[in-house]
Amino acid sequence: MDFFIRKIFNNEIDEIVHLQFKKFSRGEFKYRGVVIAKKSKDNFYINTSYEYANEFVRFLAEKLNESKTHATGVIVSTRNLDEELDFRNKKQFMGVKQYVIDKEMTGTEILGLCNKLSSSFIGLSFSAGNSVLKIKPKAPKSAKPSTKGEDNPKIDFCKLITNDLTIVKSLIFDDEARNFNKIEISHDFIINEIIINDELKQERDFAKIKEMAKRKGKVVRKLSIDGKKFVKEKEFVV
């Protein structure tokens, strides 16, 4: 599988990509989908912002298949999932529910949760082969770029240690980054238009309209590769 940014650049828009943008209105949204990675002799050490969490979980679950792992973390949703999850306990604040997970699971079971709860935030930490994933067990929050000259916030919501080049190349797919030692990538999402089709125009549920409408705009991909700067743009309708 590919991560959502690569899918945009490859014109492979699907439901997973759409879910990443359903919360956005028109405007410019900076410092999104941040990736900071270092290469060592044997492994890649990758830190990202929260946007990649669900896809990391899905990617490693597919690798595990029927093998088991110990999964810990939270599943965050505004829906009541009491009857849909086997959870240790639940936290709730202002309508947002955090279901705490701490149990042995197969990759197939984790993938089933990803498919069934695709609109929820799945922040699970576990290992798959030589890959170790750690995601902060809390509701996601966007990192904000500095506006006063200070350093940008620490990017560590998701941490992945891996030697799996399939994952790395799906996340860091740029030709310029084939032999990087250290890389930082961030994105600006510029939404110019909200597209509502004729069927949605008849809909009375504004939450459904927001969720189903398409966003038209572009992504600006900013890279710093071993000190060299690159900027790429790609228009989209998602």
Please give the tally of structural domains in the chain. Answer: 2
Q: Evaluate whether residue 147 is within a structural domain.
A: no
Q: Evaluate whether residue 210 is within a structural domain.
A: yes
Asked if 111 and 187 sit in the same domain, the reply is no
Q: Evaluate whether residue 171 is within a structural domain.
A: yes
Q: Evaluate whether residue 158 is within a structural domain.
A: no
pLDDT of 221: 98
pLDDT of 207: 79
pLDDT of 209: 82
pLDDT of 210: 82
Of residues 157, 159, 160, the one with CA closest to residue 142: 157
Asked if 219 and 202 sit in the same domain, the reply is yes
Q: Evaluate whether residue 149 is within a structural domain.
A: no
pLDDT of 206: 78
pLDDT in single tens digits along all 238 residues of the chain: 899 999 999 999 999 999 999 999 999 999 999 999 999 988 999 999 999 999 999 999 999 999 999 999 999 999 999 999 999 999 999 899 999 999 999 999 999 999 999 999 999 999 999 999 999 999 998 766 655 555 677 899 999 999 999 999 999 999 999 899 999 999 999 999 999 988 877 877 777 888 889 999 999 999 999 999 999 999 999 9
Q: Which residues contact 205 (CB under 8 A, 6 or more apart)?
A: none
Asked if 73 and 137 sit in the same domain, the reply is yes
Range of the domain at 185: 1-42+165-238
Q: Evaluate whether residue 160 is within a structural domain.
A: no
